[in-house]
Structure formats: structure tokens, C-alpha cells
Amino acid sequence: MKHYSSVDYEHFLDDVRDMYPFGIDEAIVVELIANALDAKTSLLEIRIDPDERTFELVDNGLGMDQRAFENYHNFSMSFKRKGQGIGFAGLGAKLALKVAERIVTETRHKEPGRHKPFWNTSEWKFERKRKTAYPVWYDIEERTLSHSGTRVKIHLKRGTSLLLNPNEVRRMILDHYLPVLALHDFYESLHLYRRIIVLVNGEVIEAPLRDKTGAIKAKQTVLHRGRSRMPFALARFELHTNPLPESVQGVGISTFGKIIKRDYFKQYFSGMERVTGIIEVPELVECLTTSKCDFRKEGTAGRKYYRFTKVAQHEFRVWLEGIQLIARQESSADRDIQRLQRLVTRIVGEIPDLQQFYGFRSVHAALVKDPGGEFTGSPLEPSPVPEADRVQTDEERLIQEALERAAREGPALGEGDTLAAGKRLRNMKFGPLIHYVAASDRPDISWMEGDTVLINTAHPTYRKAVEKKTLEYHNLFAVALAMLRDVPTAQEKIQLLEHFMSEWGKI
């Protein structure tokens, strides 16, 4: 049976190709693997035959049902909703139409409770109708899968495609999906992925062994945030003896096993080319842009990403200080800085748009009245936790807190378990900490690191402010500039800066 794909494919594929920061061959590999991971595969087998000009990827995931299989070929059903996985529905194959003579896709799916599984194979290619080529697909009888999953075989037009180079394909896998191979125990503990085996022409692709990577300093830790110390990410930082390939320099920010971007979290130091790492943050899947090549910086998703970067920046800096790649921050104990900090706290307390980043709240136990109306008891302690519940690890808490986002805390009890203390939300102070730092190698007047504003005392404007006795105004402006640096739009920056300075003028 012959089927026509809908929508103007030419403009669609050109636009999609342009949204990737790498070539189309690499985008095809990235998207095919993303779809297999979203389908909960535990095996990715890639078969490359340069002589036949074929690239084939087979997984043992859930496969597609009939509706999903039809949508796979439909250009108008290309995007999954935000927060639902790291791939697009069939986008790897759609992109492959640009470089392929034809694409064969076989899928085998069996839903629980269904007696008859869905099993179908299609051949997808362009056919010319008058002067225009249209993508069409046919149902064919080819059946090869012995298990549930999907098989995509691309018959390429040119023998020069990177898809026909096994070494390049291995490099793409390690550049984009290293966390899947390096952190498999972590993903298994989250019940996110089973242990995943990746084969390229029969060879198992493995993460570089830590004792053979040349790392001279390394640290792996669970990241926590807030006063509750809620675990939400796993981080690993490494310092190597020699410069690393450019593609792995910096810390890879990963979600669901896919490295979205690499970053130094605004840290500048000698030997940056020797530092690498991974931070896996499952909850950031909800913050991916439509292209899934970056994180959104606006709205609720932007605030979640910003909170992550503050914690990651702090942990990364502490590690860099510990291995003496950067100097420790100067003390901010003098009275002027303390006065400035109190002033900024008052200002931020009047600006709700800044409080979402710098406001802190806590839960505390409060005494309650007995039936006679009297307050009884003393400050209350949490009720004992059964021994079986105490063995929960940080990674297990990460399952509960980061993925389910449900903190289940029971009420505290008084002596004899007869008096309950209610949990009450208490507003804490607003505003960041402030430190001086002499960074003559940086052009910045100020910047944020975690919840701390660093004011650059080596900057010419600071020295001029000291000379002209306008240091308070300079420091206040420097604090506002640092806090607003990551606000998404210029208009929002200006509006918040004006609001900030206006509130200062009222004090």
C-alpha cells in the first residue's frame, strides 16, 4: 500500500537541519539513539556496510504501535511535547531522507493485554511527481526482528557519508551519550534505564576507564539544593594531565543520558582545556528547548535551570579551589560589605521577580494548644524513623525527590507522641551574599557564583569609585548587574535594573 507523507517537507527538513550545532549525519545518529532510549531499550546495535552504503540501527525497546508507526512517517507529527523524553518522533529517519536513497523501518510492538502484536515494515523514499519530489512510504513484507523493538536501515546516496565511518559513529556516541555508558549504575538505581549495551559492527562501545583516562584529580558527588539538602543531580569532575579533545572539554550537562551542552559555569582559569566532567540532572528534561540542543532560560523552566546552575557553579568552584586551579574568594567581613548586603536584602525583598531567585523559606515546627487552650510541651523533635527507612541513599532519595518531586514528611510529634507540631512556612531573608575578589584577568565588573555576588576589586571602575568616593553606588550597581546577568531579555534586564535602583532611592 502506498502512503504520502504530509506537509512541505523541503522547508521542514531544511529548518530542522539548521537548528543543530553539528552536521546532518551527526544529527541523524543523535536522534535515532534518542528515540531508542525513549523506547526503553537495553541494546543498541549499529551495523555499517560501506560497500553496500548502508547504516542500520536496531534496538530492543518497546517498538511502535500502529498509530505511532503512522505518525513516525508524518511530518506534521514530528515533535514530542516538552518534558517527554530527549528525542523527536522519527526525526532521525526524517533527516536521513535528505541523504538517503531509501529507508527501511521495521517495528515490532506488543502492548500488555493484547493478543495480537503490531508488526510492520515500511520503505520510505522520495518520488517525483511532475517537478516536485514527495516523500512516500510503502508497507513491505520484510520481517527480521526476533524481539520487540525497531530497526532503521538507511541506504545512503553517497559513500562519503560519516554514517559509513565506524570511527566517526563511535565518536558521536561518546560525545553525546557518554553518561549512558559511564553512569549506568546510577540510571539503574533511578529505574530510568536498564544497563545499555552499544555495539558498532559487533564491537562493544564502552566509556573510557577512569584509571586509563589520565585523570590526575577527580571527584564524584551528589548535588543537593536548598535548606532541605534535597539531592537532584550526580556530578563528576576530572582534571587531566594533557589537553583533551575540544568536544569533551568542560562539564557536560546531561539529562536522561544525553549531553545537551558543555559549560565552565563562568569559571576562568589556566588549564581549562584539561578539565572535563558530567552532571546528570534528570529533572532538566522538562527544560529542554524544542530543538533539545539547549535549555530554556525563560519562565518556570528557566527558573529551574537557573537554580541548577547556581548549585553546579558552587560545587564546581569548590572543586577548582580544592585542586588550586583558582584562588579562594576574599573575605567579606568588613562593615561596608555587611552594610551593602543588608541594603541589597531590603531592596530584593521589595521585588518579587528577584525573590524567586534569591528568597529563602523554611519549614519549622510550631507548638499547638491542648484542648484546654494551653500551650504545652517544648520545641518538638521529629518522630523516630524506623531503621528500615534509614538506609535510603542519596541516589534513592534522588528518585523520590527529583523525579517524583514529592517530599513526604510526616508531622513532628511531642513527648509520648501525644502532641503534634504543625509545619509552618517561615519567610527568610532575601538577597545574595556579597564578596570582593581581585580578578585582574577578567573584564567583568561583577558576576554571580551560586548565591554569591563577586565584585571585582581589580576592575578600573572599582578603583575609580574608590577615588571619587562613590563606592556605595558602584557596588550597588555591580550587585544589580550580576544578579540580572542571566535574565533572558534585554527589556526585562532594564526594567528590573530600574526597579532595583528605584527601590534603593526610596530607602
Rounded Cα distance between 302 and 141, Å, is 48
The model's pLDDT over 189-209, given as tens digits with 9 standing for 90+, comes to 888 888 899 999 999 999 876
Query: Which pLDDT value is given to residue 308?
Result: 92
Asked whether the predicted pLDDT for residue 155 surpasses 60, the reply is yes
The count of domains in the chain is: 4
Asked whether the predicted pLDDT for residue 96 surpasses 60, the reply is yes
Does residue 383 lie within any of the structural domains? no
Closest CA to 109 of 60, 142, 72, 144: 60
Q: Do residue 178 and residue 278 come from a single domain?
A: no
Find out whether 39 and 164 touch, Cβ atoms under 8 Å: no
Q: Do residue 309 and residue 416 come from a single domain?
A: no
Phi-psi region at 263: left, alpha or beta (left = phi > 0; alpha = psi -120 to 50): beta
**SS3 call for 75:** helix
User: Which of 11-15, 136-140, 475-479 is predicted least confidently?
Assistant: 11-15
Q: Do residue 74 and residue 215 come from a single domain?
A: no
Query: Which pLDDT value is given to residue 190?
Result: 80
Query: Which pLDDT value is given to residue 255?
Result: 94
Q: pTM value?
A: 0.69
Angle of the 460-468 helix axis to the 471-483 helix axis, nearest 10:
150
Q: Taking the CA of residue 242 as centre, how many other CA atoms within 13 Å lie in the half-sphere pointing to its CB?
A: 4
Q: Do residue 353 and residue 365 come from a single domain?
A: no
Q: Do residue 69 and residue 18 come from a single domain?
A: yes
The model's pLDDT over 367-392, given as tens digits with 9 standing for 90+, comes to 444 445 554 443 333 333 333 444 45
Q: Do residue 353 and residue 367 come from a single domain?
A: no
Helix (H) or strand (E) holding 504: helix 490-506
Q: Which residue has the higher pLDDT, 163 or 11?
A: 163
Q: Do residue 22 and residue 91 come from a single domain?
A: yes
Does residue 385 lie within any of the structural domains? no
Overall average pLDDT of the 390-419 stretch: 45
Query: Which pLDDT value is given to residue 314?
Result: 87
Q: Do residue 287 and residue 368 come from a single domain?
A: no
Asked whether the predicted pLDDT for residue 227 surpasses 80, the reply is no
* Percent of the chain residues past pLDDT 70, beyond the cut: 77
The model's pLDDT over 243-298, given as tens digits with 9 standing for 90+, comes to 999 989 999 999 999 999 999 998 888 899 999 999 999 999 989 887 788 898 88
Does residue 62 lie within any of the structural domains? yes
Query: Which pLDDT value is given to residue 411?
Result: 37
Asked whether the predicted pLDDT for residue 402 surpasses 60, the reply is no
Query: Which pLDDT value is given to residue 108?
Result: 95
Does residue 327 lie within any of the structural domains? no
Asked whether the predicted pLDDT for residue 47 surpasses 90, the reply is yes
User: Which of 127-136, 172-181, 344-353, 355-364 is predicted least confidently?
Assistant: 355-364
User: Which of 107-116, 217-226, 346-355, 456-465 is predicted least confidently?
Assistant: 107-116
The model's pLDDT over 294-332, given as tens digits with 9 standing for 90+, comes to 898 888 888 889 889 989 988 998 899 899 898 776 555
Asked whether the predicted pLDDT for residue 440 surpasses 50, the reply is yes
Closest CA to 275 of 255, 254, 302, 251: 251
Q: Which residue has the higher pLDDT, 223 or 421?
A: 223
Rounded Cα distance between 112 and 62, Å, is 11
Query: Which pLDDT value is given to residue 329?
Result: 64
Q: Do residue 409 and residue 473 come from a single domain?
A: no
| Length, in residues, of the chain | 507
Asked whether the predicted pLDDT for residue 361 surpasses 50, the reply is no
Query: Which pLDDT value is given to residue 369?
Result: 43
Q: Taking the CA of residue 89 as centre, how many other CA atoms within 13 Å lie in the half-sphere pointing to its CB?
A: 19
Closest CA to 255 of 156, 347, 366, 180: 180
Domain boundary residue among 387, 407, 428?
A: 428
Query: Which pLDDT value is given to residue 161?
Result: 95
Q: Do residue 350 and residue 412 come from a single domain?
A: no
Overall average pLDDT of the 119-133 stretch: 85
Query: Which pLDDT value is given to residue 387?
Result: 39
Q: Do residue 287 and residue 372 come from a single domain?
A: no
Q: What CATH number is attached to the domain comprising 48? A: 3.30.565.10
Does residue 421 lie within any of the structural domains? yes
Averaged pLDDT of the chain = 80
Does residue 200 lie within any of the structural domains? no
Does residue 45 lie within any of the structural domains? yes
Q: Residue 402: give the domain boundaries.
A: 360-378+395-428
Does residue 446 lie within any of the structural domains? yes
Overall average pLDDT of the 339-361 stretch: 77
Query: Which pLDDT value is given to residue 132?
Result: 75
Asked whether the predicted pLDDT for residue 119 surpasses 80, the reply is yes
User: Which of 322-336, 363-377, 489-503 is predicted least confidently?
Assistant: 363-377
Q: Do residue 137 and residue 212 come from a single domain?
A: no
Cell of 319: 572543586
Gyration radius (Cα) of the chain, Å: 28
